[in-house]
Amino acid sequence: MKAAFWYGHRDLRVMDTPEPVVKPGHVKVKIAWAGICGTDRHEYNGPVFIPVTKPNHLTGKIAPLILGHEFSGKIVEVGEGVSDWKVGDRITASGNLVCGECEWCKSGRVNLCERLAFNGIGQDGCFAEYIVVPTYQLFKVPDNVSLEKAVLAEPLACGVHSTKLIGDVSGKDVVVIGPGIIGISCVSAAKHNGAKRVLIAGVGNSNEARARCMGADEYVDVTKHDLVQYVKNWTNGRMAEVVYECVGIESTMENAVNVSRKAAQIMVMGVYEKPPKFPMNYFQEGERILLSSQAYVDELAIVLDRMSKETTPYEDLITRRISLDRIVEDGFEELMSNNNQHVKIAIKIADL
Ligand SMILES: [Zn+2]
Ligand SMILES: [Zn+2]
């Protein structure tokens, strides 16, 4: 089969490789669609988490590895002991690879597993024609949801999870910083949980229409407006009660604190390449609350259910559809130069 292997910094190679062999408790999936995630882009320009010098602590695997963790497809083979899944099932999957034994796994917070690994980082991922995954990662795609739409369930689950951690957002004014797929997942989750109004801020306005379509009430292009002043006007001076920081740089973290009102909750979802300076005194004097969120547990099921019941055109979040052969030129290099213009680049691997 064809697969895209991560070999090193900006070195991703599409090569022929044997199809993976199904194991007990696992299924083999023929992949229809795969999505390029922000973490994949970080690895492409990295390494960040990909094991290069010593093998992954859970799987024992080391680079070169097939990158990618967002996919949808059909089961083509089931391993020994698998009874809940059958050949032909349409599925998507979580990326979490877990030990199943630590206190976090036992308490259900598998995304915090002591030995957490991830598809495409700790073992071969989905930028390939086939993947073998454990059944605990699987989610059934409802009959009326296309596999193209279902490839978005994984990133959208991040916003559902973080919103669950925040608790009650109903009736609140919410600000989201960063209109990429994670920011948009937060817009959608906050609106579904009854937020009064959601404002989203970004550089330029390429993603404005998509953010509005997913529920944003207001869009601010920070190249044209001062965000803090804008939020002040938007809230009549009250400022935001909930802020999601979905970029991961110093200025956006600072803005997240500065647009928040006293006792606000600030949810950090950005991945920081450098530790930011933090306006600690302003944060402290208002009894503000800092929260963070890591991926998801099983919130893909909630997203898939919404996709099946709603007419929201989730598939419009795909800003470009490419082939596996062109994953470097049309996918990763495009994101390296024009990241702000994309929400999700998706790879069509097979017609299923
Ligand atoms: Zn992802
Ligand atoms: Zn564990």
Specify the residue for token string 């997942």.
185
Ligand 2: distance of its center to the CA of 136 in Å? 13
Ligand 2: distance of its center to the CA of 104 in Å? 6
Ligand 1: distance of its center to the CA of 212 in Å? 22
Ligand 2: distance of its center to the CA of 56 in Å? 14
User: What whole-number distance in Å separates Cα of residue 132 and Cα of residue 27?
Assistant: 6
Percentage of the chain with pLDDT > 70?
Answer: 100
User: What whole-number distance in Å separates Cα of residue 350 and Cα of residue 352?
Assistant: 6
Q: Enumerate residues with CB within 5 Å of ligand 2 (an ion).
A: 98-99, 102, 105, 113
Ligand 1: distance of its center to the CA of 252 in Å? 21
The region, left, alpha or beta by phi > 0 then psi within -120 to 50, assigned to residue 229 is alpha
Amino acid residing at 297 = V
Contact status, residue 6 vs residue 43, Cβ threshold 8 Å: yes
Give, to the nearest 10 degrees, the angle between helix 227-234 and helix 250-258.
Answer: 20
Q: Which ligand is nearest to the CA of 180?
A: 1
Ligand 2: distance of its center to the CA of 40 in Å? 23
User: What whole-number distance in Å separates Cα of residue 299 and Cα of residue 306?
Assistant: 11
Of 181, 52, 60, 199, give the one whose Cα is nearest residue 117.
Answer: 60
What pLDDT, on the 0 to 100 scale, is given for residue 101?
A: 97
Query: DSSP H helical segments within 152-249, as ranges?
Result: 153-166, 181-192, 208-213, 227-234
User: What whole-number distance in Å separates Cα of residue 11 and Cα of residue 193?
Assistant: 41
Residue ranges of E strands in 81-140: 90-93, 96-97, 117-118, 130-134, 138-140
User: What whole-number distance in Å separates Cα of residue 93 and Cα of residue 108?
Assistant: 17
Q: What domains does the chain contain, in order, with CATH numbers? A: 2-140+313-348 (3.90.180.10), 156-292 (3.40.50.720)
Ligand 1: distance of its center to the CA of 346 in Å? 12
Of 232, 198, 241, give the one whose Cα is nearest residue 218.
Answer: 198
Q: Which ligand is nearest to the CA of 38?
A: 1
Mean pLDDT rounded to a whole number for the chain: 96
Of 350, 346, 327, give the one whose Cα is nearest residue 35.
Answer: 346
Contact status, residue 332 vs residue 175, Cβ threshold 8 Å: no
Bridge partners of 197, per DSSP, are: 173
Q: How many CB atoms lie within 10 A of CB 235?
A: 17
Ligand 1: distance of its center to the CA of 155 in Å? 5
Ligand 2: distance of its center to the CA of 103 in Å? 7
Instruction: Assess whether pLDDT exceeds 90 at residue 274.
Output: no
Give the alpha-carbon dihedral of 79, 81, 84, 86, to 10 degrees.
Answer: 30
What pLDDT, on the 0 to 100 scale, is given for residue 272?
A: 86
Query: Model confidence over 58-96: pLDDT tens digits?
Result: 999 999 999 999 999 999 999 999 999 999 999 999 999
Q: Which ligand is nearest to the CA of 94?
A: 1
Query: Model confidence over 11-34: pLDDT tens digits?
Result: 999 999 999 999 999 999 999 999
Ligand 1: distance of its center to the CA of 139 in Å? 15
User: What whole-number distance in Å separates Cα of residue 191 and Cα of residue 299?
Assistant: 16
SS3 199: strand
Q: Which two tokens stand for residue 247?
A: 């970029």
Q: Which two tokens stand for residue 250?
A: 């110093």
What pLDDT, on the 0 to 100 scale, is given for residue 19?
A: 98
Ligand 1: distance of its center to the CA of 36 in Å? 7
Ligand 2: distance of its center to the CA of 117 in Å? 10
Instruction: Assess whether pLDDT exceeds 90 at residue 297.
Output: yes
Ligand 1: distance of its center to the CA of 70 in Å? 6
Ligand 1: distance of its center to the CA of 304 in Å? 15
Contact status, residue 162 vs residue 113, Cβ threshold 8 Å: no
Ligand 2: distance of its center to the CA of 294 in Å? 14
Q: Which two tokens stand for residue 123?
A: 């073992």
Instruction: Assess whether pLDDT exceeds 90 at residue 273.
Output: no
Ligand 2: distance of its center to the CA of 98 in Å? 5
Q: Which two tokens stand for residue 323?
A: 């082939």
What pLDDT, on the 0 to 100 scale, is given for residue 80?
A: 98
Query: Which phi and psi angles does 195 have, rounded to 5°?
Result: -55, 145
Query: Model confidence over 96-138: pLDDT tens digits?
Result: 999 999 999 999 999 999 999 999 999 999 999 999 999 999 9
Which helix (H) or strand (E) segment holds residue 106: the answer is helix 103-106
What pLDDT, on the 0 to 100 scale, is given for residue 334?
A: 97
Cα angle: 296, vertex 147, 214; to 5 degrees: 60
Query: Model confidence over 203-215: pLDDT tens digits?
Result: 999 999 999 999 9
Lowest average pLDDT, out of 44-53, 187-196, 296-305, goes to 44-53
SS3 285: helix
Ligand 2: distance of its center to the CA of 105 in Å? 4
pTM of the model: 0.96
Q: Which ligand is nearest to the CA of 41?
A: 1
Query: Model confidence over 222-272: pLDDT tens digits?
Result: 999 999 999 999 999 999 999 999 999 999 999 999 999 999 999 999 888
